[in-house]
Structure 1
Amino acid sequence: MAGLAVPVWLAEDDLGCIICQGLLDWPATLPCGHSFCRDCLKNLWGARGAGGAGRPWTCPTCREGAAQQPRLRKNTLLQELADKYSRALRELGEDAAPASSPVPARAARPPHRPAPRQAAVQKNIMEVGRELTELVEQLVDIVRSLQNQRCLAEPGPDNELGLLGMVNSAGRGKDLVTSNTSEGKMRDVLHDLEEIQVKLRENLTWKEASEEQTQVELPEAPSSSSCPLPNQSLPAPKKASRFAPWAINPTFDLQTLSCSLEVSKDCQIVTVAHCPQSYPWSCERFSISQVLCSQALSSGQQYWEVDTRHCSHWAVGVASWGMSRDRILGRTIDSCCVEWKGTSQLSAWHMVKETVLGSDRPGVVGIWLDLEEGKLAFYSVANQEKLLYECTVSASAPLHPAFWLYGLQPGNSLIIKQVRV
């Protein structure tokens, strides 16, 4: 091994690029502190048209932007760590290889491509189902994007995939949509994909419900011996939330809704739109993919839940109505949130400070706001609430439920969920 053992605290995700999902190659660190492969970053900015039509050079992780293109310099420390990690993995493979099949001692560095992820070995059926659902949703988005060529001809600041623009730049866009035959086939494909998407979602929801039922703990036996015990051969019913007496049902405020988002008729589902929406001008509207709820919470205790399973990058929390409309949730002193990043990291943001909470993704997040004691708490909700993070908040100004969705993934959605009673 020659002293190249991988430290127990170092994982592939720590040295990974979220754009290509591989080990960092020629890592460049942006002013915000996030690092990516230089070529990946350049290609992504080129696809978004950064620098033109008022589009800033933004960080793919935190969306912090700059009016001028940042100078990309090689982070030599990260490069050295990635090289050592790669060499250590190769030598670990050599040690495990049979003697009859020797491996060269100093294999050349492989070409830059997504490295095999160790977590993939541990994926269960549920995770594979979620990935299939997300892939089908992306296919549906692609077909819809091609059908809506006029709508996507002028993408907004958050619709940065620019898929149709990329196709047109390759000289193939018109050929794909001009033929009536092609349009008919495209409609058939979209119909088939939507049917598959519905079936996958139904199957995934059923499996998640079954998994939750099998994990439910039996309730404590009542003190009275005259009360019969439940039939243990049957799955125990879901327990009511202990926060049910304080449950509220917030609704999204349309004045604050970003033009890159759209909401359901009941204002309890927010989704990243496939093209910029032409909402009336409002000084309260966010310029990035965020929205507040209408309810101003200024006293007492309140609790609500958010289903995050259909969103790849998100943040949920609270903010004052005066939060700057061009700032990201949690990056201001009057907002607080928990945030899930596509790099398998859950963080909390409070007073413009990030606290890493771990790598477990909560499917449903419960938010408990106690303004009498000045406390805010976030819970992972499955069969019972599990505390994720707790902090103090000030009741000097009313707080509103607040949401951020990653604007690069049309179809991503957050749902204000009914609390179990």
Structure 2
Amino acid sequence: MAGLGSGPSVPVWLAEDDLGCIICHGLLDWPATLPCGHSFCRDCLQGLWGARGAGRPWTCPTCREDGARPPRLRKNTLLQDLADKYRRAVRELDAGPEPAPSSVPAPQRRPAQPPTFSSGMDLASASPKLVTSNTSEGKIRDVLHHLETIREKLQENFTLKEAPEEQTQVKLLKAPSSSSCPLPDQSPTAPKRTSQFAQWAINPTFDLGSLACSLEVSEDCRRVTVSHYPQPYQWSRDRFSTSQVLCSQALSSGQQYWEVDTRYCSHWAVGVASWGMSRDFILGRTIDSSCVEWKGTGHLSAWHMVKETVLGSDRPEVVGIWLDLEEGKLAFYSVADQEKLLYECIVSASSPLHPAFWLYGLHPGNSLIIRQVKA
């Protein structure tokens, strides 16, 4: 029987999150796989367990499974090999391909640029990264050229967002586009939008006690951002283990409306949840939480009662949330010139609901902003 190395070369498409550790939000380093199947960096896992104190601190950070005694941590050599190949592929992409032999003219290439942009979006949100085995130099060059083309297109799309504010406004006036044009109420030359929900608008603020250690908030508690480094918050049972946060406001009656700017986050979910929502689950995957979610791959969906409903492939730049507890109704809108209904569902007012947010935790810089609704 032929060995594994003698077969045809098969490309394996991987994104950074496939090989990421949810504790440090980086690529796995000395990956240890727990009996439940979840994997983390060994040092991250031991550090987290050591900070939890008495009891059974060795529960899985993802599913909370534990045992009578701490598991023996062994290196997952397969994951380590994949992570190493991924790092090597990224380094080669940044450095560019090796020069071709002198007898064959090398293709002209522009200087390689870092794969992550300051806006928080990277190639993983637009196309997967390639890890290959036994691939010829020519094929590698073709793949790198293809990735570079994608990167250049992404950089062109994000140029306006990275430019200074004054220059951005001038560019937008000269060459507006559907993906980068500001909302009507943000442009000095555009007519002001009057929201049909303005009289019920509230200005919720993020609750620091529920904030995950991978997140940080602005001074006014209305912008939440994925941090480059885990925040040194004291452990609390109210703190989420994933990149999530609730707002302080407990909504138990009446009608409320708020808006969330999602343009600076590549993968997110916004909605409502009870304060008792499990801190180890993702928004929408519990019976006491509901949301709309953008998966960063042209996939917008709603989650309600642990059931997903696919809504389409258009990404809303601003999401409006309408909560009518008098009628037990929750609705999500895409906000532009006017509100466009995305999804509506029935909710219970048996316990107060809080505005809830989830940001994909492997991309530092991603942020969600609670906007002030203008009458």
Does the TM-score normalized on the shorter chain lie above 0.5? yes
- The aligned counterpart of 2:27 is 47
Q: Extract unaligned runs of 5+ from structure 1.
A: 1-24, 28-36, 73-108, 135-196, 217-233
- The aligned counterpart of 2:229 is 275
1:294-320: CA deviations, max 9, x gaps? 000011110000001111111100000
Amino acid at match of 2:264: H
Report the structure, 1 or 2, having the larger helix content.
1
Equivalent position to 1:298, from 252, 255, 279:
252
- The aligned counterpart of 2:321 is 367
How far is 1:49 from its partner?
2.6
Asked whether the equivalents of residues 312 and 342 of structure 1 are also in contact (C-alpha less than 8 Å), the reply is yes
In structure 2, what is the Cα distance between the partners aligned to 1:40 and 1:273?
17
Does the residue aligned with 2:208 lie in a helix, a strand or coil? coil
TM-score by length of 1: 0.54
In structure 1, what is the Cα distance between the partners aligned to 2:253 and 2:321?
15
Distance 1:207 1:373, change over 3 A: same
Asked whether the equivalents of residues 305 and 418 of structure 1 are also in contact (C-alpha less than 8 Å), the reply is yes
How far is 1:397 from its partner?
0.7
TM-score by length of 2: 0.60
Does the residue aligned with 1:47 lie in a helix, a strand or coil? coil
Equivalent position to 2:269, from 300, 315, 334:
315
Q: Does 1:207 align with 2:234?
A: no
In structure 2, what is the Cα distance between the partners aligned to 1:379 and 1:252?
21
Aligned pairs for 1:104-143 (under 5 A) are 111=139, 113=143, 129-132=156-159
- The aligned counterpart of 1:410 is 364
Distance 1:340 1:206, change over 3 A: farther
In structure 1, what is the Cα distance between the partners aligned to 2:336 and 2:16?
37
Measured on the aligned residues, the alpha-carbon RMSD in Å equals: 4.1
How far is 1:51 from its partner?
3.4
Amino acid at match of 1:357: L
Does the residue aligned with 1:48 lie in a helix, a strand or coil? coil
In structure 2, what is the Cα distance between the partners aligned to 1:418 and 1:283?
31
Equivalent position to 2:279, from 317, 325, 329:
325
Asked whether the equivalents of residues 20 and 362 of structure 2 are also in contact (C-alpha less than 8 Å), the reply is no
How far is 1:254 from its partner?
0.6
In structure 2, what is the Cα distance between the partners aligned to 1:392 and 1:249?
23
In structure 2, what is the Cα distance between the partners aligned to 1:214 and 1:198?
14
How far is 1:131 from its partner?
2.9
Asked whether the equivalents of residues 63 and 280 of structure 2 are also in contact (C-alpha less than 8 Å), the reply is no
Distance 1:202 1:322, change over 3 A: farther
- The aligned counterpart of 2:241 is 287
The percentage of counterpart residues that share the same residue type is: 61
Asked whether the equivalents of residues 50 and 56 of structure 1 are also in contact (C-alpha less than 8 Å), the reply is no
Q: Extract unaligned runs of 5+ from structure 2.
A: 1-9, 41-60, 66-72, 80-135
The structure whose Rg is larger is 1
In structure 2, what is the Cα distance between the partners aligned to 1:211 and 1:56?
42
Amino acid at match of 1:388: L
1:38-60: CA deviations, max 9, x gaps? 797876579323734989438xx
Higher relative contact order (CA 8 A, sep 6+): 2
In structure 2, what is the Cα distance between the partners aligned to 1:284 and 1:269?
20
How far is 1:128 from its partner?
5.5
Distance 1:315 1:204, change over 3 A: farther
Q: Does 1:261 align with 2:212?
A: no
